[in-house]
Amino acid sequence: MSINYKENAREGLWTNNIVFAQLLALCPLLAVTGTATNGLGMGIATVVVLVLSNATVSLFRNLITPEVRIPDFVLIIATVVTLVDMAMNAWMHELYKVLGLFIPLIVTNCAILGRAEAFASKNAVAPSIFDGLMMGLGFTFVLVILGASREVLGNGTLFANASILLGSGFSFLETTLIQDYRGFLLFALPSGGFIALGFILAGKRMLDKWLENRSAAKVFVANLSTAKSKS
Amino acid sequence: MNKKVENKSKFRETVTYQAILLGASTLVATTLLSFGNLVTKDEIALRIEEDLKASISQVVPDTLYDNDLLASTITEENSEGESVLVYQATRNNAVTAVIFEVSENGYSGEIRSIIAIGPDGRILGVRILSHSETPGLGDKIEVQKDDWVLGFDGLSINNPSRSGWSVRKDGGEFDQFTGATITPRAVVKSIRSGLEFFEEKKQELLHVNTESQQ
């Protein structure tokens, strides 16, 4: 099966985005997006696991029968997550101390099973890796957006503690947007996450609608002009 | 050729194939995980020891001792009957600080902290070693994220008084965080129990065991 990489990237990042369109992975999404930095950390860890699990599932897709695919996929994902967890603990310990918190949470991310089922089990290895990367990046994008909006509303800061995650070179990202902000606890709590996510989803729909109307208007004008030239 | 493919697909539909498939994948997964554990085990232990050294140097200044801290350990039982590994910092053969781990269950799992107490019973420093509290809420107990844990420095079992050794919500003197009470409550409780342990075993803890210095 040939695969349109451009279309696939568009799907992962926007039209079929894990959160925007599939509304999957809400558990880790709402749990960690208290700050933009945490969102970014979770996003990076998810990208790595998604790429590896997609690659593995795709590699064994001809061996796995539909009847037992779910336990097999779960087994593959759990193995990949545990291996990533151990490897990071041993060789990237500084990063692990920051991201380590998020890695076990990835197992609860149904989006990874979703991609194994919907894409990797039907496609070759290279497109599956690409799909994992794009879906992961799309997820990271939403995590950072949601984390940033909750952080600004809840704490008045943006990218707090980014230097712990990315190294001291990125300390310029850490900004305090609202001085002496007393904090808005609701947005730091998961319930605030739901509210913020609702607004973001509504905003995405509005943007889509606007784009649709614009392109529809374009098509209309184009049709009009061809109709004119015909007559 | 066609027949072969047909046979193959027929076999794939049998329970035998699926059982073998699941068994084989579990075997592969287990092998991979054991192998991964073997490869990373020593490295992880080493990292944990490095972390411990780094944490100790955060709670006890290097100038306070002249012995090999990680080699000078004694083991004492706490009131719950668990044995606690205590690191003794000594200078000129007098104990200048004792360092040990305390732990308590937080909001999600165990919170391990390291605590250093001077011979006068005052806290020299407290740091969180590991926890799995909610990111953005409970993780303010980490010194990188908040100054909260520094507030314990200089305190002892009688300062504040025993009833003060809890978070404000419980009538004590320690701040909880917005959105997280259980986490700081657990940390305060574990530190209080650490101080109680020190009071109880003061004699043993402050006794310099010259043999372990070798």
pLDDT of A74 > 70? The answer is yes
| A93/B145 Cβ within 8 A | no
ipTM of the complex: 0.71
pLDDT value of residue B7? 66
Interatomic CA distance for residues A174 and A161, integer angstroms: 7
**Between these two residues, B204 and B70, which has the higher pLDDT value?**
B204
Residues A102 and A20 sit within 8 Å (Cβ to Cβ)? no
pLDDT score of A121 more than 50: yes
Residue B1 banded pLDDT, cuts 50, 70, 90: very low
Quote the CA–CA distance of A55 and A124 in Å, as a whole number: 9
pLDDT for B191 beyond 90: yes
User: Cβ A65–B18 below 8 Å, yes or no?
Assistant: yes
Q: Where exactly are the structural domains of chain A? A: 5-230
Average the pLDDT over each of A78-87, B146-155, B174-183 and give the range with the smallest value: B174-183
Hey, are the CB atoms on B43 and A161 less than 8 Å from each other?
A: no
Rounded Cα distance between A25 and A30, Å, is 9
Domain boundaries, chain B: 2-45, 62-213
Helices then strands, counting H and E runs in chain A, come out as: 11, 2
Are the Cβ atoms of A89 and B44 closer than 8 angstroms?
yes
User: Regarding predicted confidence, which is higher, A227 or A82?
Assistant: A82
**Residue pairs spanning A and B at CB distance below 8 A:** 77
* Probe site for chain A from B22, B38, B130 (most A CB atoms < 10 A): B22
Predicted local confidence at residue B213, as pLDDT:
45
pLDDT value at A1 more than 50: no
- Select from A34, A68, A83 the Cβ nearest to the Cβ of B33: A83
User: Percent of chain B, pLDDT > 70?
Assistant: 92
pLDDT average, residue stretch B109-126: 91
What residue has token string 């990202």?
A173
> What count of Cα atoms within 13 Å lies in the side-chain half-sphere of residue A195?
13
Are the Cβ atoms of A35 and B40 closer than 8 angstroms? Answer: no
SS3 at position B116: strand
Contact of A185 with chain B, judged by CB distance below 8 Å, is answered with yes
* Mean pLDDT, range B115-126, rounded to an integer: 92
- How does DSSP assign A144-202, residue by residue? HHHHHHHHHHHHSEESTTHHHHH-GGGGGG-EESSTT----HHHHSHHHHHHHHHHHHH
Shortest alpha-carbon distance between residue A8 and chain B (Å)? 30
Residues of A in contact with B25 (CB under 8 A): 60, 72, 75-76
Q: Kindly determine whether residue A75 and residue B39, on different chains, have CB atoms separated by under 8 Å.
A: no
Structure token pair of residue A203: 């905003």
**pLDDT band (50, 70, 90) for residue A50:** very high
Judged against a pLDDT cut of 70, whether residue A12 lies above it is answered with yes
Residues of B with Cβ-Cβ distance to A71 under 8 angstroms: 22
Residues of B in contact with A93 (CB under 8 A): 47, 50-51
Q: Which two three-digit tokens encode residue A12?
A: 């992962």
Closest residue by Cα to residue B101 from B89, B117, B90:
B117
Above 70 in pLDDT, residue A207?
yes
Mean per-residue pLDDT, B61-75: 82
| Tokens linked to A207 | 């943007």
**Amino acid B214: pLDDT:** 41
Nearest to A86 among B37, B137, B145 (CB): B37
* Greatest mean pLDDT among A22-31, A178-187, B21-30, B142-151: B21-30
Q: Omega of the bond prior to B119 within 30 degrees of 0, cis? A: no
